[in-house]
Amino acid sequence: MVTAVAHTNIALIKYWGKRDANLIIPYTGSLSLTLDQFYTETSVNFDQNLDRDEVSIDDQSAANNSWQRVHDFLEIVREKSGAHLNAKVVSRNHVPTAAGLASSASAFAALAAAASKAAGMNLNNQELSRLARRGSGSACRSIFGGFVEWQRGTDDADSYAVPIDTPHLSDIRVVALTIEKHQKPISSRRGMALSVTTSPYYPTWVKVVESDLQSIKSAINQDDFTRFGTISELNAMRMHALTLSSDPDFLYFNGSTLDAMNEVKRLRHSGIECYYTIDAGPNVKVICQTKNVKEITTTFSKLFGPDKVIVAQPGPGIKYL
């Protein structure tokens, strides 16, 4: 039995749209920060006594659709490794209960690491990143700690994440506001497909991400938090503009999302520097530096309640237990 731990990541330059839905090759690169607070621990054991894959998630037998996704992923591992046995998978998400942050990124990164090793493969991190990508695109970034870039590539061999090794912006903090724990009504998979095929702005998004990626990497290089935060917030809003311009249109924000966004702007205008980013759901992550964490958590604790505010810092890459 092999056990692996992977942390979740938050994209600052978003991945939104697949060029190849089967291999999960994106139209654009993306850039993320791995977070220390949220992680998945997964054990895998290939066992000749099983007549089908067994999957338990958070101490419950996996629902049909989750079982199918894990099974499909294990099929890829069996095909690559030559292993043919069924597997027992036990996965636990260490995400504060109210968080609504349960992440396919940490889940598939941990599964890729545990399953490949249990099947006798000895993959390096680049190969692991490629494998994790097949489960969920953003999972390829959770193989590494700190800042990570997913280089979009053009096929299975060259689409993987690489760590950005830098001492810069190390006092960055992400204040996660866990506004809503319910599942998103439109999965990122379905949302991306809609935006790619129906948003008239999609071709512009592809171009703009290229320049957003260059800008954020040079901001990291120059240790420039203001540029870093500004471009992160802009890029998130550009992604959400794709949902609004799809046919049919859809929106991941709710009223509290807008309240949080306004509060971030108010704080910023009052001299507390912070920026927001939002994924495929209503929860808001506030990007800031250590010096402002106290003021920001106090403000949002008053607005949403202290149990809804979680402070994260840069987290580590994949680990085996």
Contacting positions for ligand PMV (CB under 6 A): 11, 14-15, 30, 104-105, 136-138, 188-189, 279-280
E strands, 27-142, are 30-47, 54-57, 60-61, 86-94
Give the whole-angstrom CA distance, residue 102 versus residue 194.
23
E strands, 196-282, are 275-278
Q: Which is nearer to ligand PMV, 83 or 239 (CB)?
A: 239
Q: Which is nearer to ligand PMV, 174 or 280 (CB)?
A: 280
Altogether, the residues listed in the chain come to a count of: 321
Strand-pairing partners, residue 60, are 57
Helices (H) and strands (E) in the chain, counts: 8, 14
Q: Closest separation between CB of residue 14 and ligand PMV, Å?
A: 4
Q: Which is nearer to ligand PMV, 118 or 212 (CB)?
A: 212
Q: Which is nearer to ligand PMV, 104 or 215 (CB)?
A: 104
What are residue 97's phi and psi, to 5 degrees? -50, -40
Sorted by sequence, the CB contacts under 8 Å of residue 248 that are 6+ apart come out as 194
Q: Which is nearer to ligand PMV, 7 or 88 (CB)?
A: 7
Q: Which is nearer to ligand PMV, 14 or 134 (CB)?
A: 14
Q: Closest separation between CB of residue 191 and ligand PMV, Å?
A: 8
- Structure tokens given for 60: 């419950």
Q: Closest separation between CB of residue 189 and ligand PMV, Å?
A: 6
Q: Closest separation between CB of residue 64 and ligand PMV, Å?
A: 19
Peptide bond connecting 26 to the previous residue in cis, omega within 30 degrees of 0: no
Q: Closest separation between CB of residue 260 and ligand PMV, Å?
A: 17
Q: Closest separation between CB of residue 104 and ligand PMV, Å?
A: 5
286 burial (CB, 10 Å; 0-12 / 13-18 / 19+) is buried
